[in-house]
Amino acid sequence: MLPLVVQDLGTLPYAEALAVQREAARARMAGELAEDVLFLVEHPPVVTLGRNAKAAHLGVSAEYLARHGIELFEVERGGDVTFHGPGQLVGYPVFDLRGLKPDLHWYLRQLEGALIQALDRLGLPATRNPGHTGVWTAGAPRGSSEPFPAAERAPEGSSGPPEGPEAQPALRKIASIGVHAREWVTWHGFALNVSTDLRYFDLMVPCGIPGVRMTSLEAELGRAVEMAEVKRQVVAGVAEGFGLGAELRAGS
């Protein structure tokens, strides 16, 4: 069984975590890092724009985000716009797919499967949503309230999450996935909402999917969930899904 090193970075600003994973990916490609690594982290509030992000999908200006203490980054991962923040478990796998299976579609499906397995063990049934990368769950929708003053909402002409034919009210998204790979070495990864303040997603069209409804583990279960237990189950899901033996290390 190939080894998997799991490094828990705690809470780290997005730029610092991005530098950590980019350096690990460089070292993995250069043969200086012998093992696959999974970085676990929580970020202070930040919005990231992937390669396919459309300006209209972020319903507020960069100045608005800055006024509310939310950072903004354009990055090389796939996908559209998303939010990271406290109460969200973010995982950055730096995997050499040549030792696993050099197939990005397979890799994405394995990540989905790992998170689905972890959520099942945490008591929440989850599923894939064909045509939309990520992990989803079904159930009665929860309400949402405005986190920011209405007077400071999006500039005129911008748009928030619209309702439309692509909306799937029976399914809500609990985990987003956006990855990048070079020479079959991956970075970026997944974001699982545990106790995330979901109102932040009202500032955007999450993942560029019109009508999408975001949710969290605590919102679905109706109770508090220990982040340590979520990490344990996610690590187990990733290790089993990719046939790796996990070794947990603290810090960077």
Q: Which residues are known catalytic residues?
A: 207
Closest to 81 measured CA to CA, from 70, 91, 92:
70
Beta strands in the chain (DSSP E): 2-11, 36-42, 46-49, 71-74, 81-84, 88-94, 127-129, 132-138, 171-182, 185-193, 244-250
Closest to 178 measured CA to CA, from 200, 153, 209:
209
CB 115 within 8 A of CB 126: yes
Cβ count near 216 (within 10 Å): 23
- Determine the Cα–Cα distance for residues 208 and 57; give it in Å rounded to an integer: 6
| Packing angle of the helix pair 104-121, 227-242 (nearest 10 deg) | 140
Strand partners, 188: 179
